[in-house]
């Protein structure tokens, strides 16, 4: 998240006038286990308060499985709670979770059936599948890479992902999730995968960038980040949503402050 979100928005700066700054606060996790994920999520309130001290324009919660392992639909609870922490700190900011962003991104594409790749152990990957199923998205096939160490997830070679995705049963899928984890890099392989598979390809990080831009009321477009950010789904946030988050913006600014955390 701390590399791919800035990369996506820097690419956007080549085609749009807005400029961005990035800030992060970290929650500790060394192994991707249910116990560490629960402890990590409990620390997210602290991170939200710390980041709101910087008067950021949008907050991104950067752990998909930490949210999904807390129960079906939990991204909604988390987003409201963390937004409340920023309000209590007199620095209200909209909150995007990577879990909620993946759900919204797939719905934006009209993707009812998907295939996905995740770095998690098989039980946690099944948690992701069940979460998406609850949100009306059928997972036709998935690959669990079963990498328990968090640093090893970050070191996974993204060049391997298109081939891994190609081995999935994706023919009837509406879209493919190349990385259902913001820790596993995939941005550089997304457009290659789209060409190889002939399907829209997204990642948790791409969907998070898409939703952060919408929360800012900006066109959700960035070159080099696949179909979701190609401009085909660049609509700004509906007025009713903008009204809800208007207090977070402290006026319209040309330079947006973006939190890429709470991060691992």
Q: Is 47 a catalytic residue?
A: no
The sign of the torsion formed by the CA atoms of 79, 231, 181, 14 equals: negative
The first and second tokens of residue 26, run together, are 């970290």
- Of 10, 75, 73, the closest CA to residue 41 belongs to 75
To the nearest 10°, report the CA torsion of 219, 223, 227, 233. Answer: 10
156: closest CA among 122, 195, 188?
Answer: 188
* Beta-carbon-side half-sphere exposure of residue 21 (alpha carbons within 13 Å): 10
Helix/strand number for the chain, H first, E second: 12, 8
Q: Is residue 207 annotated as part of the catalytic site, yes or no?
A: no
Catalytic residue selected from 47, 63, 207, 255: 63
Q: Which residues contact 93 (CB under 8 A, 6 or more apart)?
A: 51, 52, 55, 56, 57, 58, 59, 83, 86, 248, 259
Q: How many Å apart are CA 207 and CA 112, to the nearest integer? A: 16
Q: Which entry of 47, 181, 207, 255 is annotated as an active-site residue?
A: 181
State the catalytic residues. Answer: 63, 181
């Amino acid at each position: 998240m701390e590399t791919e979100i800035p990369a996506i928005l820097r690419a956007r700066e080549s085609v749009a006038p807005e400029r961005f700054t990035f800030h992060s606060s970290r929650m500790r996790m060394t192994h991707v286990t249910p116990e560490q994920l629960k402890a990590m999520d409990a620390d997210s309130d602290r991170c939200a308060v710390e980041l709101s001290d910087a008067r950021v324009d949008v907050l991104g919660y950067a752990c998909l499985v930490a949210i999904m392992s807390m129960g079906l639909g939990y991204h909604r609870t988390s987003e409201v709670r963390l937004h409340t922490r920023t309000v209590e700190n007199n620095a209200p900011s909209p909150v995007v979770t990577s879990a909620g962003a993946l759900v919204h991104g797939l719905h934006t594409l009209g993707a009812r059936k998907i295939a996905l790749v995740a770095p998690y152990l098989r039980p946690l990957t099944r948690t992701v599948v069940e979460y998406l199923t609850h949100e009306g998205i059928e997972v036709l096939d998935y690959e669990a890479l079963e990498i328990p160490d968090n640093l090893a997830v970050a070191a996974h070679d993204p060049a391997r992902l298109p081939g891994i995705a190609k081995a999935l049963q994706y023919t009837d899928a509406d879209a493919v999730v190349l990385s259902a984890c913001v820790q596993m890099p995939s941005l550089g392989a997304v457009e290659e995968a789209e060409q190889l598979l002939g399907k829209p390809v997204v990642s948790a990080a791409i969907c998070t960038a898409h939703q952060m831009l919408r929360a800012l009321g900006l066109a959700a477009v960035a070159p080099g980040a696949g179909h979701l950010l190609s401009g085909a789904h660049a609509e700004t946030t509906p007025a009713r949503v903008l009204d809800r988050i208007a207090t977070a913006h402290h006026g319209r600014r040309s330079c947006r402050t973006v939190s890429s955390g709470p991060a691992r």
